[in-house]
């Protein structure tokens, strides 16, 4: 008797389900993807007991006819690709053709569908037994499809044991719906749990509606403190909302990233984002963002993970650089004027045209979107002129200048200093009300940014080590060091290969001569191997400059004169990243007249 035999279709499907169906949330994800792929304009999700008793997804998409319906339940059956070439530039969310077969092997699944506009038409399919034979019978259904999944894992007790509480399972599937809802603003979504409506999201027909959806998914606080960005360079496009550094989270739980509309979690992407926030985020905090990357489908491989959560970029390095540079610029360019714009004007949209084709736009925090291309924002020189004007205005007036003497439009964003409070805060008056500045934090950032600029201008000075340092590495790392020799020397590191698995460090940056250079070299190599680039040397140098800046800045309890305070305010308006100190804390805040009025119950 032969020892080898074919598995029954159900068992084969159950094994496949092990990979893709982990919990009710996985079922919701697959069914939502199918509904969207079918062109649905509205998708209703109804679940009971955290999805363990029932997941029902109803869509108004294309539907399936008598021929397709039974096929949809067979493994390796899909309408989405035909050939390998199709897979290489796949535009649909699904393509593996195994979700329905897998889910139906571990639950009681029924599909009802109709491809016609006659609502008395329609078919219902269920599959039974170890052969998973499909039974089809007539059942009325409006155009579209309803998939009902009952009693998940009823026949796989080992899996069922891994299910958590109703609440936990529901939270997971709610998160899936939120992620999907942010990927398709044009589709209406509804989520009901135990007969109660939890989310009701209408299709978005305007920018305002989109913002409202982001606010309802991510919370209104995110939207109030988010920056809209949009960049486009050589076929790569990145748009979405990024939280200001002062809106950070203790966990990486508010991070939504989409590649060509597909929700993904990717190490390369997380690294690029983290690096962009490095200089402005409080240690150990996580940024919040909703970002969409669009690129040629042929340059990204989506077939690298069974649940398609990960992707592989053909040119990972340029994607990493693009994400990093776009976010880094956007965060550096936040100025008091931008942050205040939201409170002053309905929407102030600015765009920066950099040399090259890069365009970058950002609105007031949470502001209306008006994609600005081609540079409607004043060029850096013009900003300089404007500041020059402030300076003259300020210089030509007496030190104790107050608002009434100044035309409203000539008041600089952070206003004019009034006084100093307990040697710690500067109080200033601007068009909108009271501005409070943490003087040490602000000065520290200004000093730090200046040091970075002057350090950057001179380049990284290196100095030879008295005794060259041998570093044992893997052959792959040694190859990498050899290929990137030029890059290393730009970083002030002169590295030579000394053998198959060894390197010699001959020169190091002067600023870092006391650092653990061997560890740094290893970290840079591992960055280069994984992400294709590394900002470790720059990060270390920045850290050093930041410490120096901290010591060199005005300490608390130093009395400043009014002109000194005004000079600090003007510097803040000009300095990159001046909204946060070097440790990511805010440097200033504002109490508008309306907020003050509220405090005093005025106008009630």
**What residues line the site for ligand ADP (CB under 6 A)?**
30, 34-35, 38, 59, 61-64, 72, 77-80, 94-101, 145
Task: Enter the DSSP assignment of 282.
Answer: P
Closest CA to 290 of 335, 372, 223: 223
Pick one of Mg ion, ligand ADP, none as the site partner of residue 35 (Cβ within 5 to 8 A by kind): ligand ADP
CA distances from 331 to 139, 191, 273, 435, 557 (A): 56, 35, 11, 21, 30
Tell me the closest approach of the beta carbon of residue 364 to ligand ADP, in angstroms.
Answer: 40
- Using CB under 5 A as the binding criterion, the count of chain residues that bind Mg ion stands at 3
Pick one of ligand ADP, Mg ion, none as the site partner of residue 415 (Cβ within 5 to 8 A by kind): none
CA distances from 179 to 25, 169, 254, 287, 309 (A): 12, 16, 10, 17, 12
List Cβ neighbours of 364 (8 Å cut-off, separation of 6 or more).
338, 339, 341, 342, 343, 345, 347, 348, 349
Tell me the closest approach of the beta carbon of residue 33 to Mg ion, in angstroms.
Answer: 5
- β-sheet bridge partners, residue 295: none
Closest CA to 230 of 336, 311, 351: 351
**CA-to-CA distance for 247 and 222, rounded, in angstroms?**
7
When asked if residue 94 is in the footprint of Mg ion (CB under 5 A), the reply is: yes
Closest CA to 446 of 300, 575, 257: 575
Tell me the closest approach of the beta carbon of residue 510 to Mg ion, in angstroms.
Answer: 57
Residue with smaller CB distance to ligand ADP, 97 or 423: 97
Residue with smaller CB distance to Mg ion, 70 or 94: 94
> Given its phi and psi angles, is residue 153 left (phi above 0), alpha (psi -120 to 50 degrees) or beta?
left
Task: Give strand ranges (E) for 132-195.
Answer: 133-138, 144-150, 188-193
Pick one of Mg ion, ligand ADP, none as the site partner of residue 95 (Cβ within 5 to 8 A by kind): ligand ADP
Torsion sign across C-alpha atoms 373, 577, 279, 489:
positive
Tell me the closest approach of the beta carbon of residue 539 to ligand ADP, in angstroms.
Answer: 42
When asked if residue 61 is in the footprint of Mg ion (CB under 5 A), the reply is: no
List Cβ neighbours of 2 (8 Å cut-off, separation of 6 or more).
none
Tell me the closest approach of the beta carbon of residue 184 to ligand ADP, in angstroms.
Answer: 14
Q: Which residue is nearest to ligand ADP (CB)?
A: 94
List Cβ neighbours of 72 (8 Å cut-off, separation of 6 or more).
64, 100, 111, 125
Tell me the closest approach of the beta carbon of residue 370 to ligand ADP, in angstroms.
Answer: 36
Structure tokens at 463: 């100095």
Tell me the closest approach of the beta carbon of residue 253 to ligand ADP, in angstroms.
Answer: 28
Tell me the closest approach of the beta carbon of residue 470 to Mg ion, in angstroms.
Answer: 54
When asked if residue 99 is in the footprint of Mg ion (CB under 5 A), the reply is: yes
Pick one of Mg ion, ligand ADP, none as the site partner of residue 78 (Cβ within 5 to 8 A by kind): ligand ADP
- β-sheet bridge partners, residue 57: 45, 147
Pick one of ligand ADP, Mg ion, none as the site partner of residue 412 (Cβ within 5 to 8 A by kind): none
List Cβ neighbours of 70 (8 Å cut-off, separation of 6 or more).
125, 134, 136
**CA-to-CA distance for 207 and 363, rounded, in angstroms?**
12
Residue with smaller CB distance to ligand ADP, 59 or 166: 59
Pick one of Mg ion, ligand ADP, none as the site partner of residue 276 (Cβ within 5 to 8 A by kind): none
Identified binder of Mg ion from the candidate list 13, 26, 34, 112, rule CB under 5 A: 34
Stretch that binds Mg ion, among 30-38, 162-170, 208-216, 383-391 (CB under 5 A): 30-38
Residue with smaller CB distance to Mg ion, 64 or 505: 64
Stretch that binds Mg ion, among 55-63, 89-97, 186-194, 268-276 (CB under 5 A): 89-97
Pick one of Mg ion, ligand ADP, none as the site partner of residue 145 (Cβ within 5 to 8 A by kind): ligand ADP
Residue with smaller CB distance to Mg ion, 109 or 323: 109
SS3 14: helix
Residue with smaller CB distance to ligand ADP, 68 or 315: 68
Tell me the closest approach of the beta carbon of residue 30 to Mg ion, in angstroms.
Answer: 5
**CA-to-CA distance for 183 and 252, rounded, in angstroms?**
19
Stretch that binds Mg ion, among 97-105, 393-401, 557-565, 574-582 (CB under 5 A): 97-105
**CA-to-CA distance for 55 and 340, rounded, in angstroms?**
46
Residue with smaller CB distance to ligand ADP, 35 or 191: 35
List Cβ neighbours of 472 (8 Å cut-off, separation of 6 or more).
501, 502
Tell me the closest approach of the beta carbon of residue 281 to Mg ion, in angstroms.
Answer: 37
Stretch that binds Mg ion, among 6-14, 88-96, 187-195, 504-512 (CB under 5 A): 88-96
Stretch that binds Mg ion, among 95-103, 299-307, 371-379, 448-456 (CB under 5 A): 95-103
Pick one of Mg ion, ligand ADP, none as the site partner of residue 149 (Cβ within 5 to 8 A by kind): none
Tell me the closest approach of the beta carbon of residue 87 to ligand ADP, in angstroms.
Answer: 11
Tell me the closest approach of the beta carbon of residue 96 to ligand ADP, in angstroms.
Answer: 4
Closest CA to 61 of 72, 48, 51: 72
For strand 289-294 and strand 255-259, is the pairing parallel, antiparallel, or unpaired? parallel
Pick one of ligand ADP, Mg ion, none as the site partner of residue 72 (Cβ within 5 to 8 A by kind): ligand ADP
Stretch that binds Mg ion, among 4-12, 92-100, 527-535, 567-575 (CB under 5 A): 92-100
Radius of gyration of the chain measured on its C-alpha atoms:
29
Q: Are 254 and 218 in contact (CB under 8 A)?
A: yes
Residue with smaller CB distance to Mg ion, 20 or 473: 20
When asked if residue 26 is in the footprint of Mg ion (CB under 5 A), the reply is: no
- Contact set with Mg ion (CB under 5 A): 34, 94, 99
């Amino acid at each position: 008797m032969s020892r080898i035999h074919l598995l029954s279709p159900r068992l084969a499907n159950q094994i496949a389900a092990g990979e893709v169906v982990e919990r009710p949330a996985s079922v919701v994800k697959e069914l939502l993807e199918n509904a969207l792929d079918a062109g649905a304009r509205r998708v209703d999700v109804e679940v009971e007991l955290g999805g363990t008793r029932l997941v029902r997804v109803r869509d108004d998409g294309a539907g399936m006819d008598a021929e397709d319906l039974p096929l949809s339940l067979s493994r390796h059956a899909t309408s989405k690709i035909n050939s390998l070439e199709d897979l290489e530039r796949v535009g649909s969310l699904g393509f593996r053709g195994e979700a329905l077969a897998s889910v139906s092997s571990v639950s009681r699944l029924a599909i009802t569908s109709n491809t016609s506009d006659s609502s008395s038409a329609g078919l219902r399919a269920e599959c039974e037994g170890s052969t998973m034979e499909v039974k089809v019978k007539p059942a009325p259904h409006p155009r579209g499809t309803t998939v009902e999944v009952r009693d998940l894992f009823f026949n796989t007790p080992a899996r069922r044991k891994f299910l958590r509480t109703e609440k936990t399972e529901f939270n997971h599937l709610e998160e899936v719906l939120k992620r999907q809802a942010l990927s398709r603003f044009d589709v209406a979504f509804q989520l009901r749990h135990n007969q109660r409506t939890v989310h009701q999201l209408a299709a978005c027909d305007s920018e305002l509606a989109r913002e409202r959806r982001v606010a309802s998914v991510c919370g209104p606080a995110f939207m109030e403190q988010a920056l809209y960005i949009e960049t486009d360079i050589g076929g790569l496009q990145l748009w979405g909302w990024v939280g200001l550094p002062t809106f950070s989270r203790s966990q990486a739980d508010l991070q939504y990233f989409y590649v060509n509309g597909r929700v993904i979690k990717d190490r390369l992407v997380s690294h690029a984002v983290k690096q962009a926030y490095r200089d402005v985020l409080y240690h150990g905090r996580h940024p919040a963002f909703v970002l969409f990357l669009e690129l040629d489908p042929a340059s990204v491989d989506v077939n690298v993970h069974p649940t398609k959560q990960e992707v592989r970029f053909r040119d990972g390095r340029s994607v990493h650089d693009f994400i990093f540079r776009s976010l880094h610029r956007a965060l550096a360019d936040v100025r008091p004027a931008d942050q205040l714009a939201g409170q002053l004007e309905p929407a102030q949209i600015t765009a920066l045209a950099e040399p090259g084709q890069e365009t970058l736009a950002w609105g007031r925090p949470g502001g209306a979107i008006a994609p600005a291309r081609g540079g409607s924002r004043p060029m850096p020189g013009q900003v300089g002129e404007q500041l020059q004007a402030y300076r003259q205005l300020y210089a030509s007036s007496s030190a104790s200048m107050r608002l009434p003497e100044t035309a409203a439009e000539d008041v600089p964003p952070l206003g004019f200093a009034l006084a100093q409070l307990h040697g710690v805060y500067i109080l200033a008056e601007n068009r909108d009300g009271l501005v409070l500045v943490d003087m040490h934090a602000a000065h520290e950032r200004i000093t730090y940014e200046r040091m970075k600029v002057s350090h950057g201008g001179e380049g990284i000075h290196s100095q030879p080590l008295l005794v060259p340092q041998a570093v044992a590495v893997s052959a792959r790392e040694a190859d990498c060091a050899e290929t990137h020799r030029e890059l290393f020397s730009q970083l002030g590191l002169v590295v030579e290969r000394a053998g198959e698995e060894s390197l010699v460090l001959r020169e190091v940056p002067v600023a870092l001569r006391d650092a653990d250079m061997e560890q740094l070299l290893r970290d840079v190599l591992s960055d280069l191997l994984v992400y294709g680039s590394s900002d470790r040397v720059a990060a270390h140098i920045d850290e050093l400059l930041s410490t120096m800046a901290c010591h060199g800045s005005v300490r608390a309890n130093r009395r400043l004169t009014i002109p000194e305070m005004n000079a600090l305010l003007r510097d803040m308006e000009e300095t990159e990243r001046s909204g946060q100190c070097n440790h990511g804390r805010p440097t200033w805040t504002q109490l508008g007249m309306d907020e003050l009025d509220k405090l005093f119950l005025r106008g009630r």
